[in-house]
Amino acid sequence: MTTLYEIMEKYYKDFSAKQAVMPKIVVKDSFPIVWFGNTKKFFNSKIKVITIGLNPSFHEFPETDSELRFPGARDAFARHRMGEVCNSLNGYFDADRVPYWDWFKAYERVLGFLKCGVTYGGIQSRCPLAENYALHIDFYSAIATNPTYCNLGKTTKTHLARVDLFRQLFSYLTDGCKEPVIVLFSTSKDAICHCLELTQSDKIYECVVAGDGKVEAYRRGNKYFIWGKPNIKPFQGVKNGILKSSLNAICEIIDI
């Protein structure tokens, strides 16, 4: 099986190639953010939860201090010291890193409604006594761009995307898990479902309320995939009442 370090090397090779041909789009002084969260806490969690986005925000690399949230990671990547990169990535939600909560609080809201004590961690956690820790990974690319992915041209999006790397990372994180794996996503539903080979026959839950939002859930083995309608940010197109009742129902199906 491919190791995590080998996957990270592939991400860095892809980043270096894209940086060379798209220097005005790839954020200056950046590197591939392979994941957000703590892999050690994730693998020690009884319930494995993964959230999925498109690609990292350029806000992860502030112009005033591009290493604020990932100290030492850029140099460690360049020197192929993947252990050091892991340590830096794993500390993202530590209080002193100033995580980009303006984005992640949208997913933290969803995690707070799960009946299994899940959080990313950090000082803004809705579950201070949580025993389960989520990871966030990005579907199209681990490369931060400016403009954002949604505002890139079609050709640029095609050149940037490396869904095969996402698939390798997702398999590494989930294939060996005996416990339930919950995957939360709120964007590019058709593309992600295609990548993860989810079909209508895999659907186990659907809730649609006009004006209040839509939630769907799919199952493949021990993996449960939950999609919610977005509105600029993840799940913001789903009102709290519908989201809470939907997640309660899905957790009953999963039996957690």
**Token pair of 167 as six digits:** 């698939």
Mean pLDDT, 10 residues at a time, the chain of 256 residues: 94 97 96 96 93 96 93 96 97 87 91 86 60 94 95 94 97 92 95 94 94 93 95 93 94 90
Cis ω on the peptide bond leading into residue 62 (within 30° of 0)? Answer: no
Structural domain including 121 reads: 4-254
- Residue 211's pLDDT is 82
Quote the pLDDT of residue 124. 53
**Type of residue found at 174:** T
- Give the chain's domain count: 1
Residues contacting 129, CB < 8 A, separation 6+:
117
Question: What whole-number distance in Å separates Cα of residue 74 and Cα of residue 71?
Answer: 8
Nearest CA to 30 out of 94, 75, 92, 97 is that of 75
Regarding beta strands 203-209 and 223-228, do their DSSP bridges make them parallel or antiparallel, or are they unpaired? unpaired
Whether 130 contacts 138, CB under 8 Å:
no
pLDDT for residue 205: 97
Residue 148 DSSP label: -
pLDDT confidence of residue 131:
80
Residue pair 212/238 in contact (Cβ under 8 Å)? The answer is: yes
Question: What H or E segment, with its residue span, contains residue 170?
Answer: helix 163-174
